[in-house]
Amino acid sequence: MSLNKYELVKQQVSMPSVIGQYGFELNRSGFISCPFHSEKTASMKIYDKSFYCFGCGTGGDVIKFVSLLFRISAPQAVVKLSSDFFLGLKTDTAYDKKNEREYALKKLREEQELKTFRQEYMSKCEEFKKLRKVVKNSKDFIETAKAQARLEYLDYWFSENHWR
């Protein structure tokens, strides 16, 4: 997948035509109901080349929109847009497959990293609760001081690392 294909698709396919193609209706103020979070009031603004949801903060270009909507990768979204809008882009299959693999690998790494982070976060939460009990109930001065110091560190850690 060359950068040119991305640019070509973005150049030729506008955001309003994309939402029309996939069954969304633009209201008079230029908003649609966000497909990426549930809502009653339409809060996704559609621009000529991009979108932005004031409800959940999702935004991007036509390729991002299609890849999120159909849960496909960006290279797949380019192929889909090219075929749905009859752009007739030639797809270099071998090259696309390589990109596809790289994309999948990157996603996998991000997921694993997130999983590890969440495990650490949860275990630090548990530790925090236990230490609070120690500080509250222990009569041992040294044990209490140690727990207090660790609590301060955890406090700092939580302020630097937010749940995601």
Residues that bind Zn ion (CB under 5 A): 34, 36-37, 53, 55-56
36 vs 103 by CB, closer to Zn ion: 36
Residue 138 has phi, psi (to 5 degrees) of: -70, 140
For Zn ion, which is the closer residue by CB, 68 or 154? 68
Dihedral over Cα of 69, 27, 37, 114: its sign: positive
**Least Cβ distance, residue 43 to Zn ion (angstroms):** 6
Nearer to Zn ion, 12 or 43 (CB): 43
Half-sphere exposure of 84 (CA within 13 A, CB side): 18
CB of 62 to Zn ion, least distance (A): 17
38-68 burial by CB neighbour count: b if 16+ within 10 A, else e?
Answer: eeeebbbbbeeebbebeeeebeebbbebbbb
Q: Which C-beta is closer to Zn ion: that of 34 or that of 131?
A: 34
Taking the complex as a whole, the smallest distance from the CB of residue 129 to Zn ion amounts, in Å, to 34
